[in-house]
Amino acid sequence: MGFEMIKRISLALLLLVVAMGGVQAETAEQKVFKAAENDCKAFENGVFSTTRKAIPRIDLTGDGIPDTIIDSLQFRCSTAGTLWCGTGGCEITIIVEGKPYEFLAKGWKVVDWTSFKVLLLQVHGSQCGGTNLLNCVRAVVWSDGDFRSVEGG
């Protein structure tokens, strides 16, 4: 059997597996955790761990389907004090319909506001006109297919 014939058979098998649903694309959630695990391993061959607290599911869009929030404050690396947090806060990734949205926050909370949810993010004081301000909060809501806040982002 020639090389070209082997390539054609391999391609045909691959297409068959994909068509049958045997190969599934990596989800946005899996990508976030895989990247964190790789970051940790890259830093002195660290071992990554986390808890279920890192992945609360809350319906932020109002469609009745819980959205995934990945809070990197809950990530641990055996060889680093922190890889995902700094003076501006920690990475928060929210996944809506498979699409990741990233925020940086020192803390966060979801509150009910009449008929929708508001994501409150404690952010760096520079976003409130100072540098050492401790009480600086950004309010974010889901509206018209995206997360929105007063400053537009």
How many Cα atoms sit within 13 Å of 127 on the Cβ side?
A: 20
Tokens at residue 43, please? 């830093």
Report the alpha-carbon distance of residue 8 to residue 87 in Å, rounded. 54
Per-residue pLDDT tens over the stretch 33-64:
999 999 999 999 999 999 888 888 999 999 99
Do the beta carbons of residue 28 and residue 99 sit within 8 Å? yes
Q: Hey, where are the domains in the chain?
A: 53-72+85-148
CA atoms within 13 A on the CB side of 33: 16
Residue among 13, 7, 93 nearest 54 (CA): 93
The values of phi and psi at residue 130, to 5°, are: -135, -170
pLDDT along the chain (153 residues), means of 10: 45 43 76 94 94 88 94 93 87 94 94 93 85 82 93 56
Q: Name the pTM for this structure.
A: 0.76
CB atoms within 10 A of CB 27: 13
